[in-house]
Amino acid sequence: MRNAPTIARRELAALLLSPASYVTGAAFLFLTGARFAFDFVRTRQAEIKPLATICYWLPLFLAPLITMRMLAEEKRSGTFEVMVAAPVTDAEVVLGKFLGALGFYAALLLPTLSYVGALAYYSEGPLDVGPVAAGYLGMLLAGGLYLSLGLLASSLTESSILAAFLGFIFCFVPISFDTFNGLPGVRADPVLSDIVAYLSLWTHYRSFLRGAVDSRDICYFVSMTALALYLAIKAVESRRWL
């Protein structure tokens, strides 16, 4: 995996230099800032929950836009064949692109630390650092899962638009399990209800909103992200068989 960091730096640099990325980042910061300001003015409470809540939904739309060109565009333009012909493995290509996208998402979250500073300065009560750290960890883990699903979508097609559409569908799947768990047929079966609840992204994300860091929740995000990346690697490998 020694080539993955090099690919990650290249992808991160490409994202940071893209005008579309700045538009996406500006929209992200505007929406998170508006939600933060609205809730803080209303409650005056020193908590990160409003920001973490909107960051549960925003990457659902943001991640496919970040990853849609990463593999699809390279396959369409022919540069993908040049890359895989180089002395790099398919796993290094996929992992490098994922780390570049995750680095870009982390860069988007970085300015939101100013909100934490505002909480500490203006709130009526003391700021508890533990829940803030847990909230940011949850945002980063959820963002990583969304990005891996978006990258999986990008590995399946040569069309960036189709990759974005598929990425949105893939990202919506772990969210939809929370809705399925409310169906009467699911609630009537304890085993099925437990399975659906475990697969639900919200089940694990809300623990971070409460300031709790559970190894089971971390395992969920890491394993689901690893599964999506594994499938993306297999999709890339399949091109060698054609």
Residues 102 and 222 sit within 8 Å (Cβ to Cβ): no
- The amino acid that residue 134 corresponds to is A
Task: State whether the Cα torsion 157-162-164-166 is positive or negative.
Answer: negative
| Sign of the dihedral defined by the CA atoms of residues 204, 210, 215, 221, in that order | positive
Q: What pTM, to 2 d.p., does this model score?
A: 0.89
Phi (first) and psi of residue 148, to 5 degrees: -65, -35
Task: Provide the pLDDT for residue 210.
Answer: 82
Question: Could you tell me the mean pLDDT of each successive run of 10 residues in the chain, 242 residues long?
Answer: 82 86 86 79 70 85 89 69 66 92 93 81 70 90 95 90 92 83 62 77 87 89 95 82 52
pLDDT of residue 91: 87
pLDDT at position 1 is: 66
How does pLDDT run across 87-129, given as a tens digit for each residue? 678 888 899 999 999 999 999 999 888 888 777 776 666 667 7
Q: Which residues are CB-contacts of 192 (< 8 A; sequence separation ≥ 6)?
A: 186
Supply the pLDDT for residue 195: 78
**Rounded to whole angstroms, how far apart are CA atoms 49 and 29?**
16
Q: How far apart are CA 180 and CA 188, in angstroms?
A: 12
Domain ranges of the chain: 4-241
Q: Rounded CA gap, 168 and 206, in Å?
A: 21
